[in-house]
Structure 1
Amino acid sequence: MTIRPVADRHRSTASRHFAVIGAGIAGVACARTLLQAGHRVTVFEREVGAGGRMASESTPFGRFDSGAQYFTVRDPRFARALETAPKVCKPWSANLVRVLDAHGRVAEAALPALEPHWVAQPGMDALVANWSVPLGDSLVTQTQVTHIERDALDAKRWQLRTAGVDDSTHVYSGFDTVLLAVPPSRTRALLDNGKHSQEISQKIEAVRIAPCWTLMIAFPQANQPTMSHLGPQWNAARSTHHRVAWLARESSKPGRDRIERWTLQASAAWSQEHLRDDAPRVEAKLLRAFAEITGIRAEPSHAQARCWAEAQTQIPVGKPHLWDAKARIGVAGDWCTGHRVEDAFLSGLTLALKVA
């Protein structure tokens, strides 16, 4: 195990060093805001890059948005932030419908376009990747924080124990503040059952987030000149099928490869019931549901299932972020107020403004 102390040569009475755990949109929004305020930030992310549930999967048939499918813009602060990445975000003509499954029949009812649907290109993770560029080497990827604890050399500060993909372990020390931008289960674990902040632990005890099985499928044969348009005329649907809550034609999104690709997201109840199933079993069940809803009965050339253990907030915290000034620990995430992409951004932003 190696110990990596934080050098003090850049410290001033105003500047502090923040550890941000999690590089989803909440963590990156928080870290960027703190950097702009003149503070030092180190962001820890267990995956290979920033994104969180703004995730995209690369396959030989094109990219799939395996997490968030799109976002809407309601808050002017989010709108201003998006102006910094004008070439990344594009409106998506989702042609959204609701699929009604009643008495064994499937009908389609068009939904009114109440607000624009936006996507990042070439995948949803592109927005978070763009916003993470200013972090530079301050973004430490493929590194999972396993414990937070008081600094061995200065009890007023924090140190983090981490594990890397090569089973290496490190200790990063000298942090004034620790900010958690990870799902509730990891937040609870890092708080060590309230040991580090009883105040925050109590406030997140009632939070509930449903899991979600996602299926990504590709039909390259649909792009052959001899084959007509495959499946329905709509590009996205909210479904009342007992297995499927959402369907999207990935190839209809701007900046995507034109190979016919679909993403299905299972309902919360079905995902919970089948949470422990293996991927092949889930793939088979969701493929059958896909055929029932869309009428597409062709065998896909690619099928891949992914389970998000914590996907859609059912019971939120009820406030944009949490902050324990005495412990100097904060929490951000979409699950503080809801489950929208904008909720995650505003959570990270408001936490940073609170602690800066």
Structure 2
Amino acid sequence: MKGDPNIDFWRIFYIYHYIEFIKMNDLTKSSTQGYQTGPELNPILDFAVIGAGIAGLTAASKISALGHKLAVFEKARGTGGRLSSKRVVYDGGEAMAFDLGCVSITGKSEIFSQQLESWHSGGVIAPWWMDDQNKTHYVAVSRNSALTRHLSENLECHFSTRVSSLQRIDDIWHLFTFNERGENEGGENDRGEKLLAKAKNVILATPPAQAYDLLPAGSRFKGALESVKVGAQWVMGLELDNDLSGLPAISYPKSDTVYSISQESCKPGRRNREFNVGSTILQVQASQNWTRDHLESTHEQVKGALMRELEQHLQQPLRITNAYVHRWLYSCITQGIETKEGYLWDEEGLGLIGDYLNTDFDGVESAWLSGQQLAEQVTS
């Protein structure tokens, strides 16, 4: 006996729209880890941290460990920031994996050097190479993003969650977001945004340009951020079937185009199935000047230019298995803010952290110190 076509139509209609509703309001761990949005559904947070890079997660883990109610909000699908890694699947189901941002981590200060030793003892990172100043360069196992995943393990993190604005109402910070489709209609404030969370304190651990956009009008931090300069950088991951046994772990060619070449496949923990035993995977970073002059070039144009420069440097044609190009808009701090503390904080419970606020140090160390120093200040 055949079913009623009208009933079947409406059954399919309701099932389809129910599935779409679940997708739009997904509050699973991959997106918001069970956090229900809205003013009545959750207690007010002690701290909201925006950004799940090394600075944000360092501050968040230290503050949360002391019992404060805290949540981290990150617009990307996972942790990392400039410690992100990339896994590229191509024809045949094989994958190329490489560190998309920072190549390695080393310590200049005593406190960060001790932290590196602690992570090393715990198996989170492993030594990769030693420079001419006898400084050990570490990488996370099995990708650099594993370090930020480690820091986020005991934290309430909400990924794929973009905070679009901050408003201070009745001495409480209100975090707003656009709705699930990126539209700004039917929201809960005069900009058509939806309330995401409330917090007594907010820490911005984003690139300075994004922090600037989030700061409320009239914030004294806006003037400070206007002086910060951050350079962009093109990065390429490349899998080759070439014999590059004579190539060092990392090299800095005398080139106007290429800044560095990193052998990803020789990093500790990279010689496994995912990293394709027998092939060579390189990360190639373009120079800042070349990136600036080719900022709006297409990915294909950048890939072609970097490959030609690499062939000239290696003095052999490239036998390419896979390639991936990425443009970091906020990569290299060319002018930061000189602060004694390594962070910015005001009496209304709003703070800024990041590598641009710790100019005595570089990269990961600078960001970690910034997050650590602010966490100590607000919990003392």
Q: TM-score, normalised by structure 1?
A: 0.84
Matched position secondary structure for 1:304: strand
Q: How far apart are residue 162 of structure 1 and its match? A: 1.8
Checking the alignment, whether the CA contact within 8 Å between 1:143 and 1:165 is kept in structure 2 is: no
Matched AA of 1:275: L
1:52 paired to 2:66: no
Checking the alignment, whether the CA contact within 8 Å between 1:29 and 1:345 is kept in structure 2 is: yes
Q: Which residue of 2 aligns with 1:176?
A: 200
Matched position secondary structure for 2:152: helix
Q: Pick from 237, 241, 245 the counterpart of residue 259 of structure 2.
A: 245
Matched position secondary structure for 1:4: coil
1:336 paired to 2:357: yes
Q: Which residue of 2 aligns with 1:272?
A: 292
**What's the C-alpha RMSD, in Å, of the aligned pairs?**
2.2
User: Any residues of structure 2 matched to 1:193-272 within 5 Å, and which?
Assistant: 195=217, 197-198=219-220, 200-219=221-240, 221-222=241-242, 229-230=243-244, 232-256=246-270, 257=275, 258=277, 259-272=279-292
Q: How far apart are residue 285 of structure 1 and its match? A: 0.4
Q: Deviations over 1:143-175 (max 9, x none)?
A: 111111123xxx201111124765476412331
Matched AA of 2:195: V
Q: How far apart are residue 278 of structure 1 and its match? A: 1.0
Matched AA of 1:255: G
Matched position secondary structure for 1:241: coil
Gap runs ≥5 in structure 2: 1-24, 26-35, 89-93, 184-192
Q: Deviations over 1:12-51 (max 9, x none)?
A: xxxx611100000000001011112221111000111111
Checking the alignment, whether the CA contact within 8 Å between 1:161 and 1:171 is kept in structure 2 is: yes
Matched AA of 1:88: V
1:351 paired to 2:374: yes
Matched AA of 1:149: Q
Q: Pick from 159, 171, 176 the counterpart of residue 141 of structure 1.
A: 159
Matched position secondary structure for 1:306: strand
Q: 1: distance between equivalents of 2:237 and 2:197?
A: 41
Q: Which residue of 1 aligns with 2:211?
A: 187
Matched AA of 2:103: Q
Matched AA of 1:171: L
Matched AA of 2:344: W
Matched position secondary structure for 2:320: coil
Q: Which residue of 2 aligns with 1:159?
A: 174
Matched position secondary structure for 1:69: coil
Matched AA of 2:227: A
Matched AA of 2:196: Y
- The verdict on how the C-alpha distance between 1:73 and 1:324 changes in structure 2, with shifts beyond 3 A counting, is closer
Q: Deviations over 1:300-338 (max 9, x none)?
A: 111111000110111111125333423321000112124
Q: TM-score, normalised by structure 2?
A: 0.79
Q: 1: distance between equivalents of 2:145 and 2:283?
A: 16
Q: 1: distance between equivalents of 2:46 and 2:100?
A: 33
Q: Which residue of 1 aligns with 2:123?
A: 87
Checking the alignment, whether the CA contact within 8 Å between 1:180 and 1:332 is kept in structure 2 is: yes
Structure possessing the higher relative contact order (Cα contacts under 8 Å, 6 or more residues apart) = 1
Q: 1: distance between equivalents of 2:99 and 2:159?
A: 21
Which has more strand, going by share of residues? 1
Checking the alignment, whether the CA contact within 8 Å between 1:248 and 1:263 is kept in structure 2 is: yes
Checking the alignment, whether the CA contact within 8 Å between 1:231 and 1:295 is kept in structure 2 is: no
Q: Deviations over 1:231-256 (max 9, x none)?
A: 63312112230001111111110100
Checking the alignment, whether the CA contact within 8 Å between 1:161 and 1:170 is kept in structure 2 is: yes
Sequence identity percentage: 27
1:78 paired to 2:98: no
Larger Rg belongs to = 2
Q: 2: distance between equivalents of 1:84 and 1:260?
A: 27
Q: Which residue of 2 aligns with 1:26?
A: 55
Q: 2: distance between equivalents of 1:235 and 1:214?
A: 17
Matched position secondary structure for 1:93: strand
User: Any residues of structure 2 matched to 1:5-24 within 5 Å, and which?
Assistant: 5=39, 17-24=46-53
Q: Deviations over 1:181-201 (max 9, x none)?
A: 000110111114xx1522x11
Matched AA of 2:87: S
